[in-house]
Each structure stands twice: as C-alpha cells, then as structure tokens.
C-alpha cells in the first residue's frame, strides 16, 4: 500500500497544478456562449448545439447569392472560404481577405480570419462582428482561457503537453482509487480526528465521489489531444499528396453552386462541411471538407479534405484525397463526452457543481501535501476498532449514476437530458448527506 501511496503522491505532484487549471478554465469555458452574449450587450437564453445535420445542409444552396452580396459590399476583398457559421448553422460564413494581402492569418475552414455572415432568410449580410462589444475584455479572456485549456498557450507543442498531462491526471485518479478502501477503514478506528485528518477525509470523499467524473474528462482529453495530433499529420499527408498530384495545373474559380455540384457528384456518399476557394495561399486549388453522409455533426472530425482543380470543362477536373484513418473511429463520441453533452442550462449548472466538487478534492489534496511537509497533529485512537461494512457500495452506485449522466445526453432530447440531470443530481445529494452525517458522528 505504501508503494501505491508514493505513486499517487508523485503523480499528483507532477500534475496537480495543471489539473486544477484545467478544471477552473473548463468551468468558465462551459458558459462561454452565455458570456459572449453578455459581452455583446445581449442575453442568451438557450444553448444551441453546433450540429450541422442533413436537414441543414441546403444552407449551401444560398452560397451564390451570399457571395454576390459579399463581393458587392467588399469589392477590394477576396473570398477564401464558405462554411456554415459555427453555432449558427442557418447562416453562411464567408472568410475574406484584402486582394493585395500577401499573408493570410491563421485559419481553418470556417474558423479564424476576417469574415462576413449571410442570412438566407433576410437575404442580407450581418455585420454584428464589426460592432464594438459592451464588454470587449470578455472575448480576450475567453480566448486566453481556451488557449490555456487546450494547449497551455504554447501552440502545437502545447497540445502534446496537455495530452500527456491529461494521461498523468487520469493515472493519478486511478491510483487514488486503490487508496480509498484502506484509508477509509483505518480512519474509522479514530474517535477524535485532528484537523489534518478531517482535511484528509474531505479530500478522500470529494475526490472519490468525483472519480468517474474526473477520469472520463481526463481520458477523453487524452483521446481528443491524440486526435488533433493525428489529424494534423493526416491533413499534412493529404496536402503533400495533393501538391504532387495537382501541381501541373491550377483551378478556375467557379460559381459556388457549380463547385459544390461537382464535388457532390464526385463524392455522392458524403456531405459538405466547408469550401476553400482557390487562391495564392493554397496554390490555386479548391479544398473541400467532407463529412459522413449520415453524421449529425460532420464538422466534429474537421472534415476529410479533398483538393481539386476544377474547370469550366468538367472533363478536366482532378481530385486528390486520402481516406480518413480508421483510428479516428469513435472520436465524435469522445468529443461529445468532453464538450457537447451538456447543452442545456440545467446540465451546465450540474456540470459546474461536479467541477467544483472535483476542484475541492484537488485543493484539499494540495493543502494536505503542504501541511504534511510541516507536520500534523496526532489523533486519539479509540480502544475499540469500528468496522465499516460496504465501503465500496456508495462509490460504485454514485459512479454508475455519473457515468449514465455522461452517456445519456449523447442522444440529446428532453427525455435523455432529464434522465442525465437526475443521474447527476442523486450522487450529489447522497454525497453531501453522507458527508454531513460522517462529520456529525
């Protein structure tokens, strides 16, 4: 047992500050939609999914009319990309850049860079992103928190570090599980607890009830980090191949509807996520990002890139791509478990409470380590050893309910969201009742 304790201690020492940072930044980012709405001076009463299902794919049918308005309003700019707006897939997002620009800002598909939004319902462009927000600092803070949470604000290198740290955090949680039973039984032998032992009890119980919660977030974080690393490699490989296969020619710029028609004819079993226009920034090739035909959220994979040279004479068209690697399988589920399975305000609040429970477990562990270094007070041991039965019954039941609370919202509807809310609430009630009773006795 001493070896397991040492393993747990050192794993925790290595990862604890980062684990705490991930929890705190994640807690704030959970409400980024509401915070962004508040920053703009408005309110946001609903949390919408970022899904682009089949019923929404006709948004690209309006690509031509939106492009005409963009060119009319910004005659000195070129269109680099067309995609549904993130979080508002009923709008088209046109990434634009000055025609004289020699360097394009970092961007991918519909993310990054300057842009214009087109609303097919009103047949007009939306320019709210150019307006000065009521609280401009909010967006900057959220951006910094997102960078810290996903890559420690260290670019691509940070993704590697975060992935490794997530694994270490997960191992720290698992090692702590092995200590729960023995420590719980040994502490039952004391009739009087020192302040240190009370603190240890808090750490043990808060950390244990949040074990499944924390471990799922850690392991999905590892999977997501690994995916982005693998996806970067995959995209670089596809681009390298495309440069070789398409280097002998350049693409003409067609009407968006015509380009879309060509790619869907060539890949009829796919759905379109995003289009990159031919430009000097991509060697004058089209780049289409495609998702699975029946995928409710194809953009979750960031798309299978298909590079193309298109011409007025379709017989000259050329395409270059590579099949999505098999190891991307299951990535949608992992991302949803980590990010997109708490899209209602009720679930967000419950997630926030669980996050705070985990934070308390981490902070008490930090304080314990500090106090242990400077010594601790002794406790008075009872003459009669108290025996605890069913040490694991409550943790197993609570852990099972938490797991169900994670899984049920993957099929997001009012019924499954309600069941998930109940599953996440019951362990909290049981935990706090048992904690109060434990200290009173």
Indicate the domain borders of the chain. 2-33+147-224+334-440, 54-132+254-310
Q: Which residue has the higher pLDDT, 205 or 112?
A: 205
d(CA 33, CA 143): 12
Please determine, for residue 394, whether its predicted confidence score (pLDDT) is greater than 90.
no
Tokens representing 171 are 């191992």
Q: What is the DSSP letter of 336?
A: I
3-state secondary structure of 274: strand
Please determine, for residue 45, whether its predicted confidence score (pLDDT) is greater than 50.
no
Tell me the pLDDT tens digit for each residue of 267-314.
998 889 999 999 999 899 999 999 877 665 555 566 889 999 999 999
Least confident window among 210-214, 384-388, 428-432: 384-388
Closest to 377 in 3D by CA, of 122, 124, 200, 170: 200
Percent of the chain with pLDDT over 90: 51
First to last CA, the chain: 27
Q: Sign of torsion, CA 73 77 83 84?
A: negative
d(CA 83, CA 216): 32
pLDDT of the residue at 197:
75
Please determine, for residue 183, whether its predicted confidence score (pLDDT) is greater than 80.
no
d(CA 166, CA 19): 8
Please determine, for residue 329, whether its predicted confidence score (pLDDT) is greater than 50.
yes
Residue 138 — very low, low, confident or very high, per pLDDT cuts 50/70/90?
Answer: confident
pTM over 0.85: no
DSSP string, 139-190: HHHHHHHHHHHHHTTSHHHHHHHHHHHHHHHHHHHHHHHHHHHHHHHHHTTB
Residue 393 — very low, low, confident or very high, per pLDDT cuts 50/70/90?
Answer: confident
Least confident window among 50-59, 141-150, 169-178, 400-409: 50-59
d(CA 399, CA 430): 12
Least confident window among 5-9, 16-20, 61-65, 395-399: 5-9
CA distances from 73 to 6, 125, 246 (A): 65, 9, 33
Crossing angle (nearest 10°) for helices 345-373 and 195-209: 150
CA distances from 3 to 96, 144, 351, 435 (A): 59, 39, 34, 28
Element (H, E) at 79: strand 77-85
Count of Cβ atoms closer than 10 Å to residue 289 Cβ? 24
Q: To 10 degrees, the CA torsion angle through 391, 393, 396, 401?
A: -140
pLDDT of the residue at 170:
95
Please determine, for residue 141, whether its predicted confidence score (pLDDT) is greater than 50.
yes
State the average pLDDT over residues 24-53: 70
pLDDT of the residue at 383:
42
Please determine, for residue 99, whether its predicted confidence score (pLDDT) is greater than 60.
yes
What are residue 84's DSSP bridge partners? 92
């Amino acid at each position: 047992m001493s070896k397991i304790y040492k393993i747990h201690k050192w794993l925790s020492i290595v990862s604890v500050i980062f684990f705490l940072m991930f929890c705190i930044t994640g807690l704030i980012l959970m409400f980024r939609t509401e915070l962004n709405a508040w920053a703009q001076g408005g309110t946001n009463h609903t949390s919408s999914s970022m899904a682009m299902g089949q019923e929404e794919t006709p948004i690209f049918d309006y690509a031509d009319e939106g492009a005409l308005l963009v060119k009319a309003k910004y005659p000195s700019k070129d269109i680099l990309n067309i995609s549904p707006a993130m979080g508002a897939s009923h709008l088209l997002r046109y990434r634009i850049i000055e025609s004289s620009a020699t360097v394009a800002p970092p961007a991918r598909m519909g993310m990054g860079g300057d842009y214009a939004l087109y609303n097919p319902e009103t047949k007009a462009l939306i320019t709210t992103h150019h307006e000065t927000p009521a609280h401009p600092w909010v967006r900057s803070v959220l951006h910094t928190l997102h960078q810290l949470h996903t890559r420690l604000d260290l670019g691509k290198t940070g993704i590697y570090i975060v992935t490794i740290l997530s694994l270490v955090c997960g191992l720290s949680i698992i090692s702590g599980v092995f200590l729960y039973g023995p420590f719980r039984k040994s502490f039952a032998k004391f009739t009087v607890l020192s302040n240190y032992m009370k603190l240890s009890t808090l750490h043990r119980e808060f950390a244990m009830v949040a074990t499944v919660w924390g471990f799922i977030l850690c392991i999905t974080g590892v999977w997501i980090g690994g995916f982005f690393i693998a996806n970067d490699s995959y995209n670089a490989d596809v681009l390298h191949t495309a440069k070789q296969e398409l280097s002998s020619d350049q693409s003409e710029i067609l009407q968006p509807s015509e380009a879309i028609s060509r790619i869907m004819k060539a890949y009829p079993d796919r759905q379109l996520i995003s289009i990159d226009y031919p430009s000097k920034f991509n060697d004058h090739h089209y780049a289409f990002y495609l998702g699975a035909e029946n995928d409710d959220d194809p953009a979750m994979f960031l798309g299978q890139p298909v590079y193309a040279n298109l011409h007025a004479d379709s017989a000259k068209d050329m395409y270059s791509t590579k099949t999505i690697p098999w190891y991307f399988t299951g990535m949608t589920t992992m991302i949803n478990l980590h990010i997109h399975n708490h899209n209602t305000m009720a679930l967000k609040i419950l997630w926030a409470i669980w996050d705070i429970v985990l934070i308390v477990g981490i902070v008490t562990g930090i304080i314990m380590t500090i106090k242990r270094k400077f010594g601790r007070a002794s406790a008075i041991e009872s003459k009669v050893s108290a025996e605890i039965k069913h040490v694991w019954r409550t943790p197993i039941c609570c852990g099972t309910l938490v797991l169900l609370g994670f899984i049920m919202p993957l099929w997001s509807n009012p019924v499954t969201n309600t069941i998930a809310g109940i599953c996440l609430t019951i362990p909290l009630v049981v935990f706090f009742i048992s904690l109060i009773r434990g200290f009173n006795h």
